[in-house]
Structure 1
Amino acid sequence: MSRYQMKQRKIWTNFIIFNFCLLIIGGCVYFYQKSTTIISLLNEKIEQQDQTIKQQHHAQTALIDANHSLQSQLEEALQTKITLEDENLSKEDQLVALTEQNQQLNTNIQNLSQQLDELTKLNEQYVAERPLSVVELEMKYRQLLTEANTKVSELEIAKNTVQKERDEIQDYYEQLNQHFYVKDDLKVKLVETRTSNQHYWIAEVISSDAIPLKGAMASDTYNGKRETISSMANRLGAILAINASGFYAKTNTPMGTVVRNGKLVNIDKSYTGEILSLKSDGNLAFTTVNSEEEFKNLDIKQTFTFGPILVRDYQATELNDKSRHPRTAIGQLDDNRYVLVVVEGRMEGADGMTLAELQQLFLQLGCKTAYNLDGGGSTTLYFQGKVINTPSDGSERSVVDMIYF
């Protein structure tokens, strides 16, 4: 073979090798692009599946929140049941009905919890099986979606049943709220009594250190202004409130020395009798404050003045006035446990009370301390957003201060 032929053969060989390399490279590029496309599709499927899982988790969270809300309502219903057990036997039928409703509500809550657990297990199973192929994942997704829709339908039916029972309990609550207020830091039981010639309310209050007995001035200032109890109570967010001190008609200022929230506001030397004071431990006492120096040596948070003293150390005081009027008074049973009495008068079916009758009422209740507050047209009882009694003036009288919880 000549040198020329060898050279030609070498050229063709290199050409064939070069084309073969191009073919291999092209094939690799083609398969790389194809693989990338497949991977992108798989990633999109996985993202869609993740979004579905998130939606299911959101649905679970909403159902769990609803479950917690129902449990809170059940706890309030149980607390109300405990409170009612202290009432007379006429409440027993209502307690039985409320207990049955609570048991049914508890059963529905347990069913909801079981269904939520099943749905959670389905989600966990779905997440665990994500490494399956795209076709298998799609089949599994459709299966789980069908099961989830079935569960949602079942939960919706259960939810409607629970809502109906919840509405019935809510109606019962609204009736109870006319006479009870029960929270962790404040409990109020309001009892109305009506006879042929008397109409009065007794409010038993149990407070905590967080919400103690408080005093407030009209317009939050000592400047001769007056304000209705409902206006003061709404402004300060009071649950229960009554009128408190008597006041001088010419100046519209409270009688006696005034202390608010531990601060000495004014000394009234013209009033020499004992006044009602609230100590820092929540106990009511009777004191005199005639100077700033004397005040510094006393532990006083609030003061209220009218009188007379009705009960001192569980003993009746001597009383002379036998007239009948609308009355407002306060007493204390023990630590952070008070009794408020509001008596209507000067109207048909409500003659008012004498001081002696009012005194006997506090003694029968077992109060260690009791004090008569301003009465007559000033007598006002505010509870949960409204005035309960009918003032003898026909409408609320503006006063200078109030006691509230």
Structure 2
Amino acid sequence: MFIPKFISLLVFSCAALNAIAQHQWQNVDTAFGPLPSGIHVYRSTDPIDGKPSIAYYVRIDLANKARIVSARVGNGKRYTPTQYFEQESVKPVIVMNTTFFEFEHNSNLNIVMRDGQMLAYQQHSLPGRGKDTLTYRHPFGSAIGIDKRKRIDIAWLYTDSTRSIPYASQQPIPFFKDSIAKHSAAAMLEKGQFRKWKMQTAFGGGPVLLQDGQILITNNEEIKFAGKAIDDKHPRTAIGYTTDRQLILLVVEGRFPGKAEGATLKQEAQLLKEIGCIEAMNLDGGGSSCLLINGKPTITPSDKGAQRPVPAVLVGF
């Protein structure tokens, strides 16, 4: 993180989290090898709250100059992670789903950056429904970025297609509601303490799960699994990092009763904290959750076992 974060959010008590026993992770590099130096794969089948679970995480050492993390997009189309893998002339070691998206236009609903260029933008205007018709909610969603020096940061962003660089707040900003469909950039930037966020690679999602090594879930601020949805179990994809620049990619299999039932946001956050992340965030999950290592799947997707086509993925070399 680049700027100290002072966040006055509810910190979940130790008692609430002790229900999740410390997970044991087994190194399974040989099941997916050969792997280059600085990339390792771990698997756990320890139960979560007494329920069956299957989870994997990848550790990528970004202090290793040879390791590269980038983005691939479908440019108006959606492809499965395996299709993204097959499209590459130099095959990536890692392919993982990332952003939320909409099906009608196959559009990412979160920022995607590659080589310092924004390829997709955050969603800052959500039309109200029912009694809230004719109103709009304006959230500042979260994203993870990697800069030219391979430093990593998670922050809450404002993006605009008229500006080449996103703006980041190191503190969560509550969404606001009014009757205006779209505010000017100046009006939006007045809502927080923003700075230019000069990243080479970035992916949005949400909500944030960890800040400063503590579980701080901004689902209500970001309007991502707000209210009671924080306790819903789903297949999960998440990303975070450690103090020594280890990028952590986590997937949790789910929606298979008696085999793998998924995780709540709180449980997902606890797993990432145990692994050693100081900052972490949730990405698109459910039927989208997928992590390939050398083209080989880790978890079984919940969409009848088939990979869901997505408009963007993370690739690691």
TM-score range, shorter chain: 0.5 to 0.7
- Does 2:311 correspond to 1:403? no
1:199 corresponds to: 54
Q: 1:189 aligns with which of 26, 41, 47?
A: 41
Q: Which moved more, 1:241-250 or 1:251-260?
A: 251-260
Q: What does 1:89-128 correspond to in 2, within 5 Å? A: none
Q: 1:388 aligns with which of 285, 298, 305?
A: 298
TM-score normalised by L of structure 2: 0.65
- Cα displacement string for residues 89-109 of structure 1 (whole angstroms, at most 9, x for unaligned residues): x99xxxxxxxxxxxxxxxxxx
Query: What amino acid maps onto 2:60 in structure 1?
Result: V
Instruction: Between the two structures, name the one with larger relative contact order (CA 8 Å, sep ≥ 6).
Output: 2
Q: Which moved more, 1:302-311 or 1:335-344?
A: 335-344
Q: Which moved more, 1:352-361 or 1:295-304?
A: 295-304
1:51 corresponds to: none
In the alignment, the residues of structure 1 paired with residue 307 and residue 142 of structure 2 have an alpha-carbon distance, to the nearest angstrom, of 28
Contact 1:328 1:374 in 2 (8 A): yes
Contact 2:141 2:204 in 1 (8 A): no
Offset, 1:244 = 0.4
For the residue of structure 1 that corresponds to 2:145, the secondary structure is strand
Q: What does 1:231-242 correspond to in 2, within 5 Å? A: 231-236=83-88, 237-242=91-96
- Cα displacement string for residues 125-152 of structure 1 (whole angstroms, at most 9, x for unaligned residues): xxxxxxxxxxxxxxxxxxxxxxxxxxxx
Query: What amino acid maps onto 1:234 in structure 2?
Result: E
Unaligned runs of 5+ in 1: 1-87, 92-174
2:216 corresponds to: 317
Query: What amino acid maps onto 1:264 in structure 2?
Result: M
Contact 2:97 2:291 in 1 (8 A): yes
Contact 2:85 2:95 in 1 (8 A): yes
396 and 317 in structure 1: CA distance in 2 versus 1, 3 angstrom threshold:
same
Q: 1:264 aligns with which of 100, 115, 118?
A: 118
Query: What amino acid maps onto 2:40 in structure 1?
Result: V
For the residue of structure 1 that corresponds to 2:84, the secondary structure is helix
User: How many correspondences in the alignment?
Assistant: 229
Offset, 1:278 = 2.3
In the alignment, the residues of structure 2 paired with residue 377 and residue 293 of structure 1 have an alpha-carbon distance, to the nearest angstrom, of 32
- Does 2:242 correspond to 1:333? yes
Offset, 1:252 = 1.2
Contact 1:181 1:189 in 2 (8 A): no
Identity of aligned residues (%): 26
Offset, 1:289 = 3.1
Larger radius of gyration: 1
Q: What does 1:232-311 correspond to in 2, within 5 Å? A: 232-236=84-88, 237-268=91-122, 269-270=124-125, 272-282=140-150, 283-291=152-160, 292=163, 294-295=165-166, 297-311=196-210
Offset, 1:267 = 3.6
Query: What amino acid maps onto 1:178 in structure 2?
Result: A
243 and 294 in structure 1: CA distance in 2 versus 1, 3 angstrom threshold:
closer
Offset, 1:376 = 0.3
For the residue of structure 2 that corresponds to 1:364, the secondary structure is helix
In the alignment, the residues of structure 2 paired with residue 314 and residue 181 of structure 1 have an alpha-carbon distance, to the nearest angstrom, of 32
In the alignment, the residues of structure 2 paired with residue 338 and residue 325 of structure 1 have an alpha-carbon distance, to the nearest angstrom, of 23
In the alignment, the residues of structure 1 paired with residue 120 and residue 275 of structure 2 have an alpha-carbon distance, to the nearest angstrom, of 34
Contact 2:112 2:202 in 1 (8 A): yes
Query: What amino acid maps onto 1:261 in structure 2?
Result: D
Decide which structure has greater helix share: 1
241 and 293 in structure 1: CA distance in 2 versus 1, 3 angstrom threshold:
closer
Q: CA RMSD in A?
A: 2.5
293 and 205 in structure 1: CA distance in 2 versus 1, 3 angstrom threshold:
closer
Offset, 1:182 = 4.1
Contact 1:240 1:404 in 2 (8 A): yes
Contact 1:279 1:285 in 2 (8 A): no
Decide which structure has greater strand share: 2
Offset, 1:293 = 5.8
- Cα displacement string for residues 336-360 of structure 1 (whole angstroms, at most 9, x for unaligned residues): 4122111111113111100000111
1:80 corresponds to: none
Q: 1:228 aligns with which of 69, 77, 80?
A: 80
For the residue of structure 2 that corresponds to 1:276, the secondary structure is strand
1:64 corresponds to: none
For the residue of structure 1 that corresponds to 2:159, the secondary structure is coil
1:27 corresponds to: none
Offset, 1:176 = 5.3
Q: 2:66 aligns with which of 188, 210, 224?
A: 210
In the alignment, the residues of structure 2 paired with residue 384 and residue 266 of structure 1 have an alpha-carbon distance, to the nearest angstrom, of 27
Offset, 1:260 = 1.7
In the alignment, the residues of structure 2 paired with residue 341 and residue 293 of structure 1 have an alpha-carbon distance, to the nearest angstrom, of 30
2:131 corresponds to: none
